[in-house]
């Protein structure tokens, strides 16, 4: 399959030319500051799904308030083979609800690679981004724009919007035959960032998304009317959320961030998210961060574990736990080292930062996952 990004690249190139087209910049080409950094992230969950992510970021600031950023990510995703005995009910259940194509042999690992690139350019208060992600059965592209406005010395307003368009071509599957399809996402947001005092900042905002097109996993089936049939979600979804985040600095060189998000959509899902982060300097240039997050959601109106008939609820069927009732917890711990201040006698470490982090996620569906990441940031 050849899914190729085209429109997005044109938009990005046009934006780059427009936002950076100033004679002074072209003649000067002096970089005020550049940062670059590789990062590795490993994910493993209780279903034995594994994801290895190899990332790299590069940012530079040019004169005249022009900046450019790039982000690459290559991921290898491994979805394990079915381990239940052939023909057993457990195997049938595993195959039916698999979020992977089952073609020929469900008893082999399914491995796929996903490549992602994001490029952006800023000039003064304006920013333009292009994003593309490509894998064997999915091509996602997005353009995004943002404008920041300083109302006064205490308050900044930001207005952003993005448009994404996805091409989906499911791979061959023995028990589900979903044809090629598309999905579009229109996003808008308004965010305010306010200085409350010399130690406290607050950020709050609202977001709105309209999604059109294929929105269910094309490989999943659900039990209905005594058999199993492909899942089917509505092709229209309106999603909105409001959030508030509070950051406060304390005299013992620590900070606390508290945040809350309320979300709902026209599928009937209402969710609440509460999270907290505590960051504490241990020495100059080294701090530790503790994190906790609680999440809960109500199910979509059409969600059922099993349906009486193949008509489902209003024609829609889903046994996907992501649109079912759910609560989840996340605990995290990370260490951040500024190697330049810790090893000032070794110039090789000057202006280099190292981060090591671990997160543990678990939810009410007896699902758990571990995230491990490590990365470097070079400033030059």
Partner 1 sequence: MSHGRGLRLWHALMVVCALLGASGCAQVRAYQRERLTDRIMSFKAEAREDARLTKSFEAREGSTGGNGGAGGGCACN
Interface with partner 1 in residues 204-223 (CB under 8 A) = 204-207, 209
Asked if 242 interacts with partner 1 (CB under 8 A), we say yes
Specify the stretch interacting with partner 1 by CB under 8 A; choose among 8-16, 103-111, 245-253, 306-314.
Answer: 245-253
Name the token pair of 317.
Answer: 């069927």
Q: The dihedral of CA 82, 87, 90, 94: what is its sign?
A: positive
Contacts (CB under 8 A) with partner 1, residues 118-157 = 125, 127, 129, 144-146, 148-150, 153-157
Output the smallest distance, CB 299 to partner 1, in A: 8
Residue 46: helix, strand or coil by DSSP?
coil
Site for partner 1 in 78-107 (CB under 8 A): none
| Three-state DSSP state, 10 | helix
Helix, strand or coil, per DSSP, at residue 18: helix
Q: What is the DSSP string of 332-373?
A: EEEEEEEHHHHTTT-GGGTTEEEEEEEEEEEETTTEEEEEEE
Contact range with partner 1 by CB under 8 A, out of 13-21, 83-91, 170-178, 264-272: 264-272
Q: Are 43 and 370 a contacting pair, CB within 8 Å?
A: yes
Beta carbon of residue 34, minimum distance to partner 1 (angstroms, whole number): 16
Report which of 261, 269, 287 is spatially closest to residue 357, judged by C-alpha positions: 287
Q: How far is the CB of 247 from partner 1 (least distance, A)?
A: 5
Nearer to partner 1, 181 or 275 (CB): 275
> For residues 49 and 79, is the Cβ–Cβ distance under 8 A?
yes
Cβ distance to partner 1 smaller for residue 107 or 370: 370
Closest to 294 (Cα-Cα) out of 328, 270, 271? 328
Q: Which of 22, 114, 187, 329 binds partner 1 (CB under 8 A)?
A: 187
Residue showing tokens 């808008």: 188
Among 169, 173, 265, 370, the residue binding partner 1 under the rule CB under 8 A is 265
Q: Are 21 and 62 in contact (CB under 8 A)?
A: no
Quick one: which of 234, 289, 302, 317 contacts partner 1 (CB under 8 A)? 289
Name the segment binding partner 1 (CB under 8 A); options: 18-26, 176-184, 197-205, 218-226: 197-205
Single out the segment in contact with partner 1 by CB under 8 A; choices: 7-15, 17-25, 173-181, 272-280.
272-280
Measured from the CB atom, is 125 or 226 closer to partner 1?
A: 125
Tell me how far CA of residue 69 lies from CA of 7, 21, 172, in angstroms.
20, 17, 37
CA 4 to chain centre: 22
**Binding track over 296-325 against partner 1, x by CB under 8 A:** -xx-x---------------------xxx-
| Residue list 35-74, contact with partner 1 (CB under 8 A) | 41, 43, 57
Q: How far is the CB of 313 from partner 1 (least distance, A)?
A: 15
């Amino acid at each position: 399959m050849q899914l190729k990004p085209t429109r997005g690249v044109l938009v990005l190139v046009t934006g780059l030319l427009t936002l950076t087209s100033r004679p002074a910049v072209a003649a000067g080409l002096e970089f005020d500051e550049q940062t670059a950094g590789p990062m590795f992230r490993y994910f493993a969950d209780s279903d034995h799904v594994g994801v290895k992510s190899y990332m790299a970021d590069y940012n530079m600031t040019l004169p005249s308030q022009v900046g450019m950023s790039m982000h690459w990510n290559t991921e290898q995703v491994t979805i394990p083979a079915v381990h239940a005995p052939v023909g057993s009910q457990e195997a049938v259940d595993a195959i039916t609800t698999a979020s992977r194509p089952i073609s020929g042999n469900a008893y082999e690992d399914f491995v796929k690679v996903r490549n992602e690139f994001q490029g952006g350019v800023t000039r003064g208060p304006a920013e333009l981004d292009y994003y593309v992600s490509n894998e064997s059965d999915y091509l996602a592209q997005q353009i995004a724009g943002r404008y920041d406005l300083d109302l006064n010395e205490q308050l900044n307003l930001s207005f952003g919007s993005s448009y994404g368009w996805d091409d989906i071509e499911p791979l061959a599957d023995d028990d589900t035959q979903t044809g090629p399809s598309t999905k579009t996402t229109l996003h808008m947001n308004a965010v305010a960032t306010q200085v409350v005092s010399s130690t406290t900042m607050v950020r709050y905002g609202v977001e709105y998304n309209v999604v059109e097109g294929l929105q269910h996993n094309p490989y999943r089936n659900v039990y209905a009317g005594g058999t199993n049939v492909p899942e089917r979600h509505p092709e229209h979804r309106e999603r909105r959320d409001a959030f508030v985040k509070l950051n406060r600095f304390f005299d013992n060189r620590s900070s606390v961030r508290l945040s809350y998000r309320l979300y709902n959509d026209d599928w009937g899902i209402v969710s609440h998210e509460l999270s907290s982060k505590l960051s504490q300097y241990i020495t100059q240039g080294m701090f530790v961060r503790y994190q906790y997050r609680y999440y809960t959601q109500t199910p979509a109106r059409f969600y059922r574990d099993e349906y009486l008939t193949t008509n489902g609820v209003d024609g829609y069927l889903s046994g996907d736990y992501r649109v079912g009732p759910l609560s989840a917890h996340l605990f995290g711990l990370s260490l951040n080292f500024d190697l330049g201040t810790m090893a000032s006698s070794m110039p090789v470490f000057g202006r280099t930062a190292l981060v090591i982090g671990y997160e543990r996620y678990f939810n009410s569906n007896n699902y758990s996952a571990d995230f491990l990441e490590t990365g470097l940031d070079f400033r030059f």
